[in-house]
Structure formats: C-alpha cells, structure tokens
C-alpha cells in the first residue's frame, strides 16, 4: 500500500485528490497539510497537521497543490526527508522551477502544472504540428480560458503548450498568448496555427476538476520507487 501525503489538503484540488485516493485500493492518504489548526486531527489511518515535516514523514510520495511561494520550501523539506515529490502547483516562476530541478538531483521530482493525462497527449500533437509546419508561414497563437479566481495569465498549461510549439519548430515561430478569466471555467486551451487561407485549431477542454485529481494520483503512484530525476506527465504516459 503506497502512502500518499497531500500538501494543500484544505483546498478545492486537495479535496478532489483526497476523494480520488479514497476510491483506490493500492494507495492510502496517510497525511494532509491543513492551514487551520482547528482542522488538525489524528486517527489510526490519517494525520491532518499544520506541520509540513510531519505530513512528509508519514508519506512515501508527496503531492503538492499549494502556492507557488510555498513549493520551493516544501520540496526542500521533502528532499531532506528523502521522499518522492509530485508538484502540481501553478504559477511558479523560473527560479521556483529551478529549485525543483535542484531537488531532482537527490529525490524523484515530477512537475506538472496540469496533471491531465490527455493534456500530455495534446502537447505531443502540438509539437508534431509545429514540426511539420516549421518551414512554412504560419502564425501560432495559444488561447486559454479559466475561472475568475485563477491569477496567472497565460496559465502554466498555456506556457507548456508554447514550449511544445518551440520544441517542435526549433524556435522558428514564437507563439503569442491570449487569455480569458471568467465564471467557473475549469480549463480550455486552444493552439491555433494560422496560415494563408487555412487554420489548424487544436483544442483541449476539461469540464471536471476531478480529471486533475485523477492524474495527480496516477502520477504519484507512478513515482513510487522511481530513481532520482526530474519527470513530467509525459513520462507517466511513457512518451
């Protein structure tokens, strides 16, 4: 039985991940990080604590859905305790991602600002399309739509799709970005290749936040027992 620790237990994604774990028979939520001391409790099977070290110690693999400002410290603590780490936190800058990569020299670290398994496939299709069109005159635009509470724009997912474009075309065409923040949109992303008289539009849509939870747990299970290194959802799918 794989023991999973959840940083960000109190949030919407944390609750969705906890619900997904509860449906599985090959893993168990053993600890969760909570913000409010009033939520702290200890049972035979679950520790809810405001102490991040206690949560990490009780886990085989840690899933982090907290804040970009907190993740660098949390992964450093996981490194000191030798625990595998799945970071699903969005909005991290290059400096924060560099901390994850440094940690990956000592522990297995998986970084995925979007844990949808189908999004990993979308990135592969995007990179292939960019490669096939790299010598032709196509403009590339990436459009993302999210709920009104999401702060960063473009989203981490949109930037990941942009990286897929650059990977495919070797930097021949730099994509532009547009974004909408409205209502309770879970997540829509389009990659548009616009040429003279024709358009290719690649679309990915998520209608249920549970998709991200399922992908995060799948990633955590895949990470158990992995060698030291820096991974992504592509690796989970064997791409």
Please list the active-site residues.
Answer: 146, 150
Structure tokens at 25: 């028979």
Q: In what order do the strands lie in the sheet with 176-181?
A: 176-181, 139-146, 187-195, 198-206
Residue in the structure block whose two tokens are 């970084």: 111
Q: Are strands 108-111 and 229-231 parallel, antiparallel or unpaired?
A: parallel
Residue that is written with structure tokens 């949560």 in the block: 55
Q: What is the layout of strands, in order, in the sheet containing 229-231?
A: 41-42, 47-49, 27-33, 2-7, 61-64, 84-87, 108-111, 229-231
Query: DSSP assignment of 180-214, as one string?
Result: EE-TT--EEEEEEEEETTEEEEEEEEE--THHHHH
Tokens of 192: 């548009």
């Amino acid at each position: 039985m794989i023991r999973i620790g959840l940083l960000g237990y109190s949030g919407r994604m944390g609750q969705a991940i906890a619900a997904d774990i509860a449906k599985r028979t090959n893993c168990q939520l053993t600890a969760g990080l909570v913000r409010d001391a009033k939520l702290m409790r200890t049972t035979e099977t679950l520790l809810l604590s405001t102490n991040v070290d206690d949560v990490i110690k009780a886990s085989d693999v840690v899933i982090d859905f907290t804040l970009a400002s907190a993740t660098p410290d949390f992964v450093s603590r996981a490194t000191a305790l030798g625990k595998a780490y799945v970071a699903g936190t969005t909005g991290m800058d290059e400096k924060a991602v560099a901390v994850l990569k440094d940690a990956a020299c000592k522990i297995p670290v998986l970084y995925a600002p979007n844990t949808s398994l189908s999004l990993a496939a979308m990135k592969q299709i995007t990179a292939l399309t960019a490669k096939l069109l790299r010598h032709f005159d196509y403009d590339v635009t990436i459009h993302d739509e999210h709920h009104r509470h999401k702060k960063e724009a473009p989203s981490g997912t949109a930037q990941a799709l942009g990286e897929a474009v650059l990977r495919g075309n070797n930097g021949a065409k730099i994509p532009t970005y547009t974004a909408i923040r409205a209502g309770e949109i879970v997540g829509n992303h389009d990659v548009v290749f616009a040429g003279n008289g024709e358009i290719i539009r690649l679309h990915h849509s998520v209608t249920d936040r549970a998709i991200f939870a399922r992908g995060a747990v799948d990633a955590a299970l895949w990470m158990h027992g992995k060698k030291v290194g820096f991974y992504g959802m592509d690796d989970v799918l064997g791409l």
